[in-house]
Amino acid sequence: MSAALTFAVFAVALIAAAVFFLFFYQAWRRERKLKEPFPKTWRRHLKSQVPLYRKLPRHLRQALEQRVQLFIAEKEFYGCDGFEVDEGVKLTIAGHACLLILARSYSDFDDVRSILVYPDAYHVRDIESDGMVVRESNEIRAGEASSRGQVVLAWKECELAAGNLHNSHNVILHEFAHQLDYLDGTADGAPPLSGEQAGHWQHTMTTAYEDLRHSLSHHHKPWLDPYGATEPAEFFAVLTEAFFQQPDHLKHKQPEVYKALQGYYRLDPMNLSDEPARP
């Protein structure tokens, strides 16, 4: 073989490898991962720590298990302040987070790279500088999400969410809803949508957000966690918690908001199955 031919063969092989890596490697790797059986111990854990899992029909249980399998294989978990992240911690977080993409594409979480877990609510020291004025604040947080693909969670808050399906708060759903919101580049309370769905979302959510702020300004007891009134991004995250944790309440109070969320999540938590799956 001449040197020119050898070089051409090498170049073609290199290009083919690059094309495979860029366009097919991730799908191939995921397909291979999903061929592994889902461990029985993991299934038992989901049953006890992800209350909604027990209500899912068989095909959605399977969808959740597949997403959990990929999530645990691909995301980096880190324990903070001495917290030990064991398999149960990973499963609880993955099981709740993946409810958001149960009927959506797993790739919606491709940008999420790492999950940091603190044992309890943690202190964050923030320094803001405005010209000559430097402001320092010390906040206590239960969780946060960043546009750089990082989610931070306080484990005690996660345990509260895991223990009760009807608890109005679920920090895992909340922070991962922010991650979906970041998908179009900004956390503005509107995840990526198009066409008619985007128009309906914009109109419905803006009205509901203004109504909530109006109720609070008149000292009325709001239908939703008041934290949702701080900004549209928080409104979406708090609504997501309500959609999965208290769907009947949300649908009764705000049917149009429920409909918009149902369209986005492609799921109706009020009507998951005509034939409930065996427990």
- The residue ranges that bind Zn ion (CB under 5 A) are 234, 237
Shortest distance, position 186 Cβ to Zn ion, whole Å? 14
Reading phi first (left if > 0) and then psi (alpha if -120 to 50, else beta), residue 86 is in beta
Shortest distance, position 35 Cβ to Zn ion, whole Å? 37
Nearer to Zn ion, 68 or 112 (CB): 112
Nearer to Zn ion, 176 or 264 (CB): 176
Shortest distance, position 175 Cβ to Zn ion, whole Å? 7
Shortest distance, position 51 Cβ to Zn ion, whole Å? 22
The DSSP call for residue 135 is E
Q: Compute how many other C-beta atoms are within 10 angstroms of the C-beta atom of residue 222.
A: 15
Nearer to Zn ion, 60 or 187 (CB): 187
Q: Please, where are the H alpha helices in the chain?
A: 3-19, 25-34, 40-49, 58-74, 87-97, 155-163, 171-181, 195-217, 232-245, 247-253, 255-265
Nearer to Zn ion, 88 or 222 (CB): 222
Q: Which of 113, 94, 114, 110 is nearest to 27 (CA)?
A: 110
* Encoded tokens for 144: 């946060």
Shortest distance, position 99 Cβ to Zn ion, whole Å? 17
Query: Which residue(s) pair with 133 in the sheet?
Result: 130
Nearer to Zn ion, 42 or 122 (CB): 122
